[in-house]
Amino acid sequence: MPEQIAAIATDLIASLAPLKGVRVIAAMSGGVDSSVMAALLKQAELDVIGVFLNVWDYSRDEVNRHGSCCSLEDAYDARRVADHIGIPFYSMDMREEFRQNVIDPFVADYESGRTPNPCERCNRFVKFGALLDAADQLEAQYVATGHYVQRRDAADGIHLFKGNDSKKDQSYFLATTNRRQAERILFPVGSLEKDATRKLARYFQLPTAEKHESQDICFIPAGDRIVFLKREGASAGFRGGDIVDTAGNRLGRHQGIAHYTLGQRKGLGLPDGPWHVVALDGVTARVVVAHPEDALISEVDVEDIAWIRPPESDETIAAKVRYQMQPAACAFSAENGRIHLSFDQPQKPTAPGQVAALYSGDELLGGGIVSRAT
């Protein structure tokens, strides 16, 4: 087994060899994935600068931060890894950018009835937005991350593919990354299974080798979204209203649409179930529900489009409009900077504010943000 891990490390280092001496920013979160990523870059003799993004004032959170990413503990772990592998390390203050591009839209979406995807916005605006700007200032050609996504360079440019570990594939969260950004991003661990990443961390004797994986949204204490939204003043999301079916029949009352997400089926407390939430109206404060067979969707409109590689006219397209789903075959049309998806088979509901990722086979073509689903 040690020989197998050594062979994997040798192959990955060899794949990075053409970039020897090139300056790269290693986006270090303090987790095992980004730690192994940075170690591989260093072993391949790139000019590596470790960077931790300080995005949130965790001194405000009077809770145990265990299990969430980007905490003060994570900053300490990232620095320990950088010291261990022998690279310079900096902590960058991204709190203003994070507030403007992630926190404020997150709160506004829950007040209006949308269901935001903060990880997507963090990738688009902070990790691959502001961090690439910082790379320019440091004269770095690339930014590298621990995402489970595969990059392949070809004569016609770069292509991004799903990670080999289907359970850890993170291509969905990069669907709104544009081609200009994608050309400057490296994914050294993207071809690995999670178990192999952990074994490589042990092989490199990294301080984070046994660290538990983060689960929570990084800025929400203990995963309690409601406490966070109330603290952030999302009062419109906590205005009481009616729960109705699609015909407008009143089934009950609620204490605010922020308590619900589209597709939700648990905790509704309604008779004659099961029910699924199919609409949230921030104007009337209504929660609309339907029985499962009536909650399926076939049509999705998508805005804020970004392409890594636009599809060919005759290319077969599949779309993923929730993280926990397999890409489903669909027809595709584009007009005025928006796209319309029509699924071949009805799908479980998604919510405005979620990511729509478009694929051709395992290749990520691009995507955008769901604006309507019916």
Three-class secondary structure assignment of 309-330: CCCCCCCCEEEECCCCCCCEEE
Taking residue 310's Cβ as centre, other Cβ atoms within 10 Å add up to: 13
AA identity, residue 293 = E
DSSP β-ladder status, 157-162 and 250-254: unpaired
Catalytic residue among 69, 70, 122, 330: 122
Tell me the C-alpha distance between 84 and 322, whole Å: 38
- Contacts made by residues 343-348, CB under 8 angstroms, sequence distance 24+: 343/297, 343/298, 343/299, 343/300, 343/319, 346/296, 346/297, 346/298, 347/296, 347/297, 347/298, 347/321, 348/263, 348/295, 348/296, 348/297, 348/322
How many helices (H) and strands (E) the chain has is answered by 11, 17
Tell me the C-alpha distance between 118 and 56, whole Å: 13
Tell me the C-alpha distance between 160 and 331, whole Å: 21
Q: What share of the chain is helix, strand, coil (3-state, %, to 5)?
A: 35, 30, 40
330 is catalytic: no
Catalytic residue among 70, 119, 218, 330: 218
Query: Three-state SS for 149?
Result: strand
Taking residue 226's Cβ as centre, other Cβ atoms within 10 Å add up to: 16
DSSP β-ladder status, 328-335 and 157-162: unpaired
Whether residue 274 is preceded by a cis peptide bond, meaning omega within 30 degrees of 0, is: yes
Would you say the C-alpha torsion 302, 122, 130, 187 has a positive or negative sign? negative
Q: Are 114 and 154 in contact (CB under 8 A)?
A: no
218 is catalytic: yes
**Catalytic residue numbers?**
122, 218
